[in-house]
Amino acid sequence: MSVSIATSEAPVPATVQRDLCLGSKSRMPEFSLAGKVVCVSGAARGLGLTQAEALLEAGAKVYALDRLEEPSPEFWELQKRAVEELGTEIHYRRIDVRDTELLNNAIEAIANTEGRMDGLVAAAGIQQETPALEYSAKDANTMFEVNVTGVFMTAQAVAKQMIRFGNGGSIALIASMSGTVANRGLICPAYNASKAAVIQLARNLASEWGQFNIRVNTISPGYIVTAMVEKLFEQYPERRDEWPKQNMLGRLSTPNEYRGATIFLLSDASSFMTGSDLRMDGGHAAW
């Protein structure tokens, strides 16, 4: 049997030629989120708020969902910047992701107002450090209720609206490297199990919702210096020195280092990516 091998002399298939963007006047237009409506849970502060800012810069209109009565002062600064500098908007909706009825009503109301729903970054999450032998069922259930069921119900509420409008969409769930490895010296069995569940949940949602052109992926960050982690450092100051030694880059990350991943996953730049986990942990879990 003869096998034909393509060489550089071979003509480029017409389909490939049509896809070439050479000569395009815009710069990487597939990363633009102009005109898109995106919800971000856990966006009153921390990583969620930083992701919201990146989405605004890429052109999206953003709805921040969080259980805090008032978002952090930075939220209001960002709201001003969105209108004055970026020509878009960010709004706050107080929602506990455990309240499924409120969650669905709020997301449906956003979709009704905007006439569309294009994306979700699910960053709301909690952390608890307790040895496995001392963990109560009540605390374990709370962890799973927020980090797994809450994320699941947020994705479901957003997907329902995406399906209603028929334009597809993209969902990024914030998991963690702790969904892949057990952290050395960080005792949080339920949290780590919850993040493994988020990674597996995303694969299943992706498999069910691909038919609606809804993509679902996870981002698995390594240690990020946010309010959540600062609180741990106050309790265990030695971790400030220990943790950076556990990854290949020898440092901890900042929330800004996940901006690009979110824009990539929410935009057409990742149009053929679904059911994947984007692990960004300075090589922690590769060692």
Ligand X SMILES: NC(=O)c1ccc[n+]([C@@H]2O[C@H](COP(=O)([O-])OP(=O)(O)OC[C@H]3O[C@@H](n4cnc5c(N)ncnc54)[C@H](O)[C@@H]3O)[C@@H](O)[C@H]2O)c1
Q: Compare residues 127 and 267 and give the one whose CB is closer to ligand X.
A: 127
**Spatial distance between the Cα atoms of 275 and 269, rounded to a whole number of angstroms:** 15
The token pair that represents 89 in the structure block: 């908007």
Which residue in 195, 223, 231, 258 is the catalytic one? 195
195 assigned to active site: yes
Residue among 63, 223, 243, 264 that touches ligand X (CB under 6 A): 223
Which residue in 191, 223, 245, 258 is the catalytic one? 191
**Spatial distance between the Cα atoms of 177 and 214, rounded to a whole number of angstroms:** 24
102 binds ligand X (CB under 6 A): no
179 binds ligand X (CB under 6 A): no
CA distances from 45 to 135, 158, 176, 208 (A): 28, 21, 18, 31
CB of 142 to ligand X, least distance (A): 9
* 63: nearest Cα among 46, 77, 75, 47: 75
**Spatial distance between the Cα atoms of 90 and 155, rounded to a whole number of angstroms:** 19
Total interface residues for ligand X by CB under 6 A: 29
**Spatial distance between the Cα atoms of 78 and 226, rounded to a whole number of angstroms:** 17
Residue among 86, 102, 193, 229 that touches ligand X (CB under 6 A): 229
191 assigned to active site: yes
* 3-state DSSP of 180-230: CCCCCCCCCHHHHHHHHHHHHHHHHHHHHHHHHCEEEEEEEECCECCHHHH
Q: x/- site string to ligand X, residues 111 to 150, per CB under 6 A?
A: ------------xxxx-------------------x---x
The token pair that represents 135 in the structure block: 């963990």
Q: Which stretch binds ligand X (CB under 6 A): 32-40, 92-100, 162-170, 199-207?
A: 92-100
Q: Compare residues 170 and 253 and give the one whose CB is closer to ligand X.
A: 253
- Interface residues for ligand X in 65-84 (CB under 6 A)? 66-68
CA distances from 29 to 34, 38, 264 (A): 10, 18, 12
Residues that bind ligand X (CB under 6 A): 41-42, 44-48, 66-68, 95-98, 123-126, 146, 150, 174, 176, 221, 223-224, 226-229
Which residues are tagged catalytic? 191, 195
